[in-house]
Every structure is written in structure tokens, then in C-alpha cells.
Amino acid sequence: MSSAALRLLENGGARIDKKNMRASIPESLVKETIRKAPKKMCLAARNPKQDMVVPRPGPPFMATNGTAVYMTDMDTGEKRTTKGSDLKDFMVLCDAMDPLDYVWPIVTAHDAPDKTHALSELTISLLNTTKHVQGEAVSAHEARGEIEVGAAIAGGMDELAKRPVFSVIQCPICPLEFERGSVEAVIEFAKAGIPVVSMSMALCGMTSPVTLASTAAIVNAENIASFAISQMAKAGAPVVYSSESTSPDMMTGEIHYGALEEILLAAAGAQMAKNYGVPSMVGGFSTGLGGESPGFYLDPAELIFTTMTAATGTDFGSGLGGLDQAKGASLEQIVIDCDLWEMVRELRKVSIFDDEHFVVDMIRSVGPGGNFLKDPHTARNMRKELFIPSKDKAEIYSMYRLDKGSSKFVSEARKRVKKTLATHKPEQVDGDTRAKIDRILKKYER
């Protein structure tokens, strides 16, 4: 739905139907696109120690859920519409949570101007965490504003391209359509060197055929088409293959996050990305998506989905802190999900199989019927090789036993949230940078 995107594809050899605004992308352009797309990239952070370099051999880097329209109030437990101040609290909490590697603006800033609310959410997030932020933009205009804010933080446009402190998710409209504002934002981000995650969100039997094979094919086509637009805008523009496709609840038509079909489609997406040699973001993790208040709501299918995300081979995942099929969010749920993700990600830890780790000499020395507990090697290496939580964490994990119910671990999570918000102070940008960002926001709001 964009003349600018159609022109780019036409320049690359696509056949254009201007009347119906369609592009038929030839195999030659697909091959050129894959050749140009970067196979390695760094999603930088304000704190370089929190940079994310992919491909990653171990567990995926994990983020929050994104732009929920309500949250549960921590004091009353009631649902309420979210504001920029709520997003700030979420970002301060996320900054302190070690299992979280990067963040999405988890709740919507409803008090921001309609046409620049994504710009406002990205800015609030960047100012209140030193981790990498992944936002979105609904127009080329908003994209340019986000690029200016990012450049102010990074120290200029060239520095931002070298170390992108933010990236974006720009979703095709399934099936096989690009909305004008979003795809023109993709072009702006590509030119600036901002990584674009082309998240396909097919629903089997609704916006894609009901068969998983055909849905995977549509996911693949949407990703490659998005990549082609980025690479025609600027060769070597960083892109990430992505799918959050799933089946709907056929009783209601609502999206069903955590369906068994979602993990199968996620695994297919991760394998297609590996086939092309590009980074991927598929699957997710949240124990609260089945409920409307913080807690532990995994049915058997969602339990499989949540744990299998770590096994898909994806570089990035998301979803921590979400409620109610991603419509809601909760500060307490952030803490609960971080605790559980800390355990689940161990499924993908890097295990080394070499002469040093086989310790054949020690096995020979101890001999049949021996005991390896008393060997100093065990004490030196047990925390490297085994998941052994601290005493405090072990007590926390014990609360998640289902026979104890959820009320205790929710109340404990609430205490930890309040303590963190009272004591944790994320590193701030300097005064001149903050003033510059304020001027940028006012300009784009006007």
C-alpha cells in the first residue's frame, strides 16, 4: 500500500501492478536479498555490557511483552488504562531484572499524542533502562523522530548506525500485505541502520490457510518481502526473521498465544532463518497470558510452548510480564516470569564436550564404585555446570509449587516490585542529551 515501497521493489526487478498495488518478487531479487542481509549483528545498549550479539549459541535473549492496553493496579488489583508514568515504572523494574536481556515498551502510554505515541513510548523506555529497547513506528514521520532520539542518545547518526541502541518490530498485515505507514517506516529505519524485525502474525484458518505448511510459507514470504524492501533501501540493512503466528481460538476467533501450533510454526521459522543464515525472533515466554491478573496460568499446551521456546534455536524471544493474551500486563508478572525464565533458559545453556570436560584422568583415578563428590573438581565446577540457585532464590522457587497456590508468590513478587522501584535508579543520560530529546519530542508532536 505504498508507492515508495513499490518503486524500490520495481528497481530490484519486481513486476508491479500499480492499479492493485501489488509486487511479484522474482527469485533473482530473493537471492540478492538473502545475499545482502547481514548474518551477524549487534543490538547495542546504553550500557555496552548489555549488548546482544547474534547469532547466539546458548538460550535466546529474552524481552518483555509489548504495548498492552491495560495493567493490574498493584495496590487495588483492578484493571486500569496505562500512562507514560506506568511505562516508566515498568522500565525501571525491567532494568533491575537480570533474566531480562532487552525490553519492549510493555504498556501503552495512552496520555501521549495519538500519532506519536510509539515515539513517546520508545523515548520513555530508552531513558529509564540501559538495556536495548525494541519499539515500533506507525509512519515514516514517527520513524524519523525515533531515529533522531536514538541518535541523540548514541552520540550522532553515524554512532547510532554503528551501535543501534534500539530496534523495531514492523508487522506485515497477514496475508501478504504491507500497510503504508509501517512499510515506509521500514525504509527510514533501513537507511539509518536500525535493525527491523519483520514479525509475521498469521492465524491458521483465518489470515492464512489452516494447514501449518501453508502458514509457514506465508510467514516466509512476508519476511523475505520485508527483507527485500530493506535491502533495496540500503544494502546490508540489519533485519531479523520473525514469526508470532499461531492458531486462533476457533470458539471465539481470538488469537491463541501458547497454542501448540504456535511452537511448531516458531520452530519452522527458526529453521528457515537458519537456512538463510539470518537472526531470528520466534516463540515467547509468559506464564500469565492465560489470566487477567498476575499468577501462574499455564495449561498443558502453554507449558509446552513456554518451555520449548528455549529449544527452537531462535536468537530472540519475548513475552515476559504479559497477561490476557497480551492485552494486559503486570509489574508482579514481570518478577514471576523472570524467576521462571531463569530456570527454563538452562535448557539451552552451552554444554562443552571436549577433553577438558570429559575428565577421563579423574574418572580413571576415582575408579569404579568411587565417589566424585569429594573431588575438588566438583566444588570448582558445580556452579558452572549445574543450575544451583542461591538460598534466597531457592526459597522463591519453592513458592511456585502448584500445591501451594499462587497467592503467596504473587504477594512476594509485589513486595519485590515495591522494593526495586524504591531503591533501583537506572543510569540517566546527561542533561544536554535530555534537553535535546525533549526538543525532538516537541517538534514531532507539533
Whether residue 360 lies inside any domain: the answer is yes
> How confident is the prediction for the chain on average, in pLDDT?
92
Q: 201 and 86 in one domain?
A: yes
pLDDT at 400: 67
CATH code of the domain in which 39 resides: 3.20.20.480
The pTM of this model reads 0.92
Which of residues 363, 385, 407 is at a domain's end? 385
Q: 259 and 363 in one domain?
A: no
Q: 364 and 273 in one domain?
A: no
pLDDT at 392: 77
Range of the domain at 204: 3-348
Whether residue 139 lies inside any domain: the answer is yes
* Distance in angstroms (rounded) separating the CA atoms of residues 223 and 5: 15
Tell me phi and psi for residue 200, to 5 degrees.
Answer: -80, 135
Q: 374 and 319 in one domain?
A: no
* Distance in angstroms (rounded) separating the CA atoms of residues 196 and 41: 12
3 state SS of 317: strand
Calculate mean pLDDT across residues 345-358.
88
Whether residue 418 lies inside any domain: the answer is no
Q: 12 and 41 in one domain?
A: yes
Q: How many domains does the chain have?
A: 2
CB-side exposure of 255: number of CA atoms within 13 Å? 15
Instruction: Give the model confidence (pLDDT) of 352-401 as tens digits.
Output: 899 999 999 999 999 999 999 999 999 999 988 888 877 777 777 777 66
Whether residue 56 lies inside any domain: the answer is yes
Whether residue 317 lies inside any domain: the answer is yes
Q: 272 and 369 in one domain?
A: no
pLDDT at 46: 97
Instruction: Give the model confidence (pLDDT) of 272-312 as tens digits.
Output: 999 999 999 998 887 888 889 998 877 777 777 777 887 88
**HEC string for 34-88:** HHHCCCCEEECCCCHHHCEEECCCCCCEEEECCCECEEECCCCCCEEECCHHHHH
Whether residue 410 lies inside any domain: the answer is no
Q: 360 and 266 in one domain?
A: no
Burial per residue of 400-423, b for 16 or more beta-carbon CB atoms within 10 angstroms, e otherwise: beeeeebeebbebbbebbeebbee
What pairing do the DSSP bridges indicate for beta strands 322-323 and 328-329?
antiparallel
Name the residue type at position 446.
R
Which of residues 319, 348, 377 is at a domain's end? 348
Q: 46 and 12 in one domain?
A: yes
Q: 368 and 324 in one domain?
A: no
What pairing do the DSSP bridges indicate for beta strands 15-17 and 22-24?
antiparallel
Name the residue type at position 212.
L
Q: 359 and 242 in one domain?
A: no
Whether residue 411 lies inside any domain: the answer is no
The percentage of the chain sitting over the pLDDT mark of 70, rounded to a whole number, equals 98
Q: How confident is the model at residue 245 (pLDDT cuts 50, 70, 90)?
A: very high
